């Protein structure tokens, strides 16, 4: 059955969860050939500091790995032990991805058939909600001495499979494993390496069709899961956009957090103008409503365009709209709801004959401002009350601010800089150069306004010093 073929149960400890940036600190392998089991474990010098968060969790310190061999010195031994075996691991994407990257850095491509025991547990025990290693240990009464050490966790996986075989029978375990090992193929025309290259981190991606045609820009907290959901039927991703055109290429960029991904998504949509994204146009017709008082005392709205007026430095604007027709529609709807005069609001053709009522008055929707039946003060009061709900907020800070995001494990930080609702660009915390083109647009305004109400995890707002300089560059 499952253990009758050559298997290797692998568990790794690492400096963090980033599959390309972090490094291995410990390897634990159980080599299984039927009844014969061989153990192999070693500490590994990662060539970089172990963050305190990881040291507290695993107990592995910089001092412990200081004299350990680097991964490159273990390549020959590991290849000899792992080649030709079915590799089993809990959350196998993590362990297999780290192994592949380390072998690749050492100049030795590595591939293996992989079975993920998280997926195996889900298939064997669908009645349970949790399938983490801690959950399996508790559910099956597995006793371990050193949780979060590589060999102990590899043994936990072995004991889980033993327990499942005893409870459900070897045939059930083998049948589930066989189903999970069925080949997974990407659509024709896509590089098969995409399956192993996509990282399990936040970021933004671009799907391209024939001749590099931009089809769709999206974002996800887990790039691999989000991108692959476009190709495979998955109930967990039922809302993922289905694209009928063949997808030939996928580009992506990682971000440290959710806010950075949302910002970058907006920029990529504007830059690439993909076929299947609705929002994020060029912004050439971004407009708002400005008020002015006529000679008759009536306050009259006027639609103003962003390319004619610097919205970021203009007070008393009402609403941000992608197109003047959206602004006119809002005024029309407001007139009907509040009994305002569409002629005064400028959204109905004004007749040349003085004193002629507007269409709204004839329909019983206007209180007669157009024919002098309603005083200007009353009409103005209701208009201002209705518009107050869409007034563009004043910039609430004395100067520029940065949304600071960081990686909990590595401590890496980036800053997304805004001033007077303009997005100015993004920079690494230690840099003075901003990547990005300064812009005032509806989506960025909404995004930053929403952040002020509900900040994203692992982020904070920092007020930039008055003398702190920022220099804008160009984003690709």
Question: One digit per residue, pLDDT tens: the chain, 476 residues?
Answer: 677 889 999 999 999 988 778 999 999 999 999 889 999 999 999 999 999 999 999 999 999 999 999 999 999 999 999 998 999 999 998 999 899 889 988 888 888 889 999 999 999 999 999 999 999 999 999 987 777 799 999 999 999 999 999 999 999 999 999 998 876 667 778 887 787 778 777 899 999 999 899 999 999 988 888 898 888 754 444 456 778 788 899 999 999 889 999 999 998 998 899 999 876 554 557 899 999 988 889 999 999 998 888 887 788 899 999 899 999 999 999 998 999 998 889 887 655 456 678 888 888 889 988 888 999 999 999 999 999 999 988 888 988 999 999 876 667 899 999 998 889 989 987 777 888 767 778 888 889 999 999 998 889 999 988 656 444 433 33
Q: Is 174 helix (H, G, I), strand (E, B) or coil?
A: helix
Residues 39 and 162 in one domain: yes
Residues 159 and 14 in one domain: yes
Residues 405 and 346 in one domain: no
Residues 25 and 164 in one domain: yes
DSSP, res 1 = -
Distance of CA 90 to the CA centre of its chain: 24
Is the Cβ–Cβ distance between 428 and 414 less than 8 Å? yes
Residues 116 and 21 in one domain: yes
Question: For residues 100 and 430, what is the distance between their CA atoms, to the nearest angstrom?
Answer: 31
Residues 165 and 206 in one domain: no
DSSP, res 45 = B
Q: Name the residue range of residue 319's domain.
A: 287-390
Residues 314 and 418 in one domain: no
Token pair for residue 64? 């412990």
Indicate the number of domains in the chain. Answer: 4
Question: For residues 116 and 474, what is the distance between their CA atoms, to the nearest angstrom?
Answer: 42
| Domain finish residue from 390, 417, 438 | 390
Residues 237 and 102 in one domain: no
Residues 65 and 175 in one domain: yes
> b/e string for 424-436 if b means 16 or more Cβ within 10 A?
bbbbeeeeeebbb
Residue 233 belongs to domain with CATH number: 3.40.1440.10
Residues 62 and 130 in one domain: yes
Residues 165 and 32 in one domain: yes
| Domain finish residue from 245, 272, 299 | 272
């Amino acid at each position: 059955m499952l253990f009758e073929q050559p298997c290797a149960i692998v568990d790794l400890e690492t400096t963090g969860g980033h599959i390309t940036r972090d490094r291995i600190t410990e390897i634990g392998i159980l080599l299984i050939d039927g009844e014969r089991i061989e153990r192999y474990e070693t500490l590994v010098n990662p060539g970089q500091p172990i963050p305190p968060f990881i040291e507290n969790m695993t107990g592995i310190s910089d001092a412990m790995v200081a004299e350990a061999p680097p991964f490159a010195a273990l390549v020959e031994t590991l290849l000899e032990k792992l080649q030709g075996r079915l590799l089993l691991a809990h959350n196998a994407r993590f362990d297999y991805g780290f192994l592949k990257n380390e072998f690749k850095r050492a100049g030795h491509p590595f591939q293996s058939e992989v079975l993920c025991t998280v997926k195996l547990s889900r298939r064997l025990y669908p009645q349970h909600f949790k399938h983490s290693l801690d959950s399996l240990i508790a559910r099956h009464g597995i006793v371990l001495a050193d949780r979060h050490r590589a060999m102990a966790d590899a043994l936990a996986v072995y004991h889980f499979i033993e327990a499942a075989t005893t409870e459900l029978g070897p045939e059930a375990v083998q049948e589930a494993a066989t189903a999970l090992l069925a080949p997974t193929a990407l659509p024709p025309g896509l590089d098969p390496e995409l399956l192993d290259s996509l990282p399990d981190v936040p970021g933004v991606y671009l799907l391209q069709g024939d001749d590099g045609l931009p089809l769709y820009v999206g974002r996800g907290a887990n790039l691999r899961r989000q991108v692959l959901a476009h190709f495979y039927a998955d109930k967990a991703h039922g809302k993922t956009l289905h694209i009928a055109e063949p997808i030939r290429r996928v580009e992506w960029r990682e971000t440290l957090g959710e806010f950075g991904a949302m910002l970058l998504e907006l920029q990529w949509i504007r830059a690439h103008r993909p076929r299947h994204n609705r929002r994020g146009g060029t912004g050439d017709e971004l407009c708002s409503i400005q008020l002015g008082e006529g000679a008759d005392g009536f306050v009259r709205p006027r639609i103003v365009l962003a390319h004619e007026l610097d919205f970021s430095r203009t007070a008393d604007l009402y609403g941000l709209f992608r197109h003047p027709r959206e602004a006119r529609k809002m005024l029309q709807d407001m007139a009907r709801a509040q009994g305002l005069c569409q002629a005064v609001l400028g959204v109905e053709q004004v007749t040349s004959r003085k004193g002629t009522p507007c269409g709204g008055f004839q329909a019983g929707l206007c209180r007669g401002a157009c024919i002098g039946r309603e005083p200007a003060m009353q009409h103005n009061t209701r208009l201002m009350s209705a518009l107050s709900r869409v007034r563009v907020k004043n910039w609430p800070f004395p100067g520029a601010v940065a949304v600071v995001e960081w990686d909990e494990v590595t401590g890496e930080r980036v800053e997304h800089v805004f001033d007077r609702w303009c997005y100015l660009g993004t920079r690494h915390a230690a840099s003075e150069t901003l990547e990005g083109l300064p812009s005032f647009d509806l989506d960025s305004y909404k995004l930053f306004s929403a952040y002020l109400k509900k900040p994203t995890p692992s982020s904070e707002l920092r007020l930039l010093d008055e003398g702190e300089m920022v220099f804008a560059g160009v984003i690709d």
